[in-house]
Amino acid sequence: MKFTKVQGLGNDFVLVNMKEVSREEEKNLTESLAELAIKICDRHFGIGADGLVLLRPSQKADIAMQIINSDGSEAEMCGNAIRCVAKYAYERGLFDKTTLQVETAAGIMVPELIIEGSAVAAVRVDMGVPRLEREQIPMTGPAGRVVNEPLEAEGKVYHITTVSMGNPHCIIFVPDVHAVPLENLGPVLETHNLFPRKTNVEFVQVLNDHEVRMRVWERGAGPTLACGTGACATAVAAALNGLTGRKVRVYLHAGPLDIEWAGDDRVYMTGPAQEVFTGNYPV
Ligand SMILES: N[C@H](CCC[C@H](N)C(=O)O)C(=O)O
């Protein structure tokens, strides 16, 4: 089965265009999507990635994107992956346009390729409107938004702000992101009973009114180097808490994502996308 390894700021994915999977290969794909993703994403026994991204034909958009985390769970949306999908589609001439409609489980997202010369310099994605009501995250508890609310975990109280970009995010502002015990606090919050569909967890250090630094523990993938939907949720949360304006540069391990929560209430994310290699995975 042909695949393309891609990454956005080090958040890496195995991309499979289902149109390129032969009937014979499809027949041999006997395991579930979850099992396939776990095998393919394994960094010792498989290709190695934070997730598996499947491209399929769409009735509603130019193409459909399905995201399976490395633990086999399906996610509604993935910001770093959609930038890579847009670049992949453009470079293979799948569409003769630089703005695509991509169907996802979080709705139709619109990546626009920023071309410099003949190369894709970056991708700007309309990530839609953030969902802020508790039941939209989803979270249990009384109706309303969750902004700077106390939450007890591991004997300590954290102040959380929750935002959905189609997938759930729990954002905690801290004085120093590098001092956060990500490996033990991440999974505790990811699986906290307040979140019936679990949650991504972002720790954020505010640098000034337009720059923040973020580390992430992803739902279904653990510590990743970057999270696009997480960066969008972080910018919204920072603005909601009055810590930044609505244009925020979110610094991640390998570089920044530029996020704007625009006047139309939609969130726009701009960042890089890279193809690493192509290959054939035996099925
Ligand atoms: N683990 C996430 C999906 C991938 C999101 C992230 N990699 C991004 O770039 O947005 C979830 O289960 O919601």
Q: In this predicted complex, what is the ipTM?
A: 0.98
Catalytic positions, written as ranges: 78, 227
If asked whether residues 180 and 207 sit together in one domain, one would say yes
Cβ of 79 less than 6 Å from ligand 1: yes
Domain end point (choices 124, 157, 179): 124
If asked whether residues 171 and 211 sit together in one domain, one would say yes
Q: Residue 160 falls within a domain, yes or no?
A: yes
If asked whether residues 207 and 267 sit together in one domain, one would say yes
If asked whether residues 78 and 157 sit together in one domain, one would say no
148 is in an annotated binding site: no
If asked whether residues 41 and 81 sit together in one domain, one would say yes
Residues 204 and 24: their CA atoms lie apart, in Å, by 47
If asked whether residues 177 and 247 sit together in one domain, one would say yes
Residues 81 and 87: their CA atoms lie apart, in Å, by 10
pLDDT digits (tens, 9 = 90+) for 155-193: 899 999 999 999 999 999 999 999 999 999 999 999 999
Q: Residue 57 falls within a domain, yes or no?
A: yes
Cβ of 234 less than 6 Å from ligand 1: no
Q: How many domains would you assign to the chain?
A: 2
If asked whether residues 237 and 170 sit together in one domain, one would say yes
17 is in an annotated binding site: no
Q: Residue 283 falls within a domain, yes or no?
A: no
If asked whether residues 139 and 255 sit together in one domain, one would say yes
Q: Residue 225 falls within a domain, yes or no?
A: yes
Tell me which long-range contacts 15-21 makes (C-beta under 8 A, separation of at least 24): 15/53, 15/55, 15/81, 15/84, 15/85, 15/88, 16/52, 16/53, 16/54, 16/55, 17/55, 17/88, 18/54, 18/55, 18/56, 18/57, 19/55, 19/56, 19/57
Cβ of 218 less than 6 Å from ligand 1: yes
Q: Residue 129 falls within a domain, yes or no?
A: no
Cβ of 216 less than 6 Å from ligand 1: no
If asked whether residues 225 and 160 sit together in one domain, one would say yes
Atom of ligand 1 nearest to the CA of 76: 13
Domain end point (choices 124, 149, 180): 124
11 is in an annotated binding site: yes
* DSSP sequence for 1-31: -EEEEEEETTEEEEEEEGGGS-HHHHHH--S
Q: How far is the CA of 77 from the centre of ligand 1 (A)?
A: 6
pLDDT tens track of the chain, all 283 residues?
Answer: 999 999 999 999 999 999 999 999 999 988 999 999 999 999 999 999 999 999 999 999 999 999 999 999 999 999 999 999 999 999 999 999 999 999 999 999 999 999 999 899 999 999 999 999 999 999 999 999 999 999 998 889 999 999 999 999 999 999 999 999 999 999 999 999 999 999 999 999 999 999 999 999 999 999 999 999 999 999 999 999 999 999 999 999 999 999 999 999 999 999 999 999 999 999 9
* DSSP sequence for 81-129: HHHHHHHHHHHTTSSSSSB--EEETTEEEEEEEEEETTEEEEEEEE--P
pLDDT at 115: 96
The CATH number for 36's domain is 3.10.310.10
Residues 131 and 178: their CA atoms lie apart, in Å, by 28
pLDDT at 153: 87
Domain end point (choices 93, 124, 155): 124
Handedness of CA 169, 172, 176, 179 (dihedral sign): negative
Whether this model's pTM surpasses 0.95: yes
Q: Write down how long the chain is.
A: 283
If asked whether residues 160 and 263 sit together in one domain, one would say yes
Q: Residue 191 falls within a domain, yes or no?
A: yes
If asked whether residues 138 and 260 sit together in one domain, one would say yes
Domain of residue 228: give its range: 134-271
If asked whether residues 18 and 101 sit together in one domain, one would say yes
pLDDT digits (tens, 9 = 90+) for 248-270: 999 999 999 999 999 999 999 99
Q: Residue 34 falls within a domain, yes or no?
A: yes
Whole-number Cα distances in Å, 233 to 29, 139, 169, 255: 35, 15, 7, 17
What is the Cα Rg of the chain in Å?
18
Count Cα neighbours of 95 within 13 Å in the Cβ-side half-sphere.
19
Largest CA distance in the chain: 55
Q: Residue 227 falls within a domain, yes or no?
A: yes
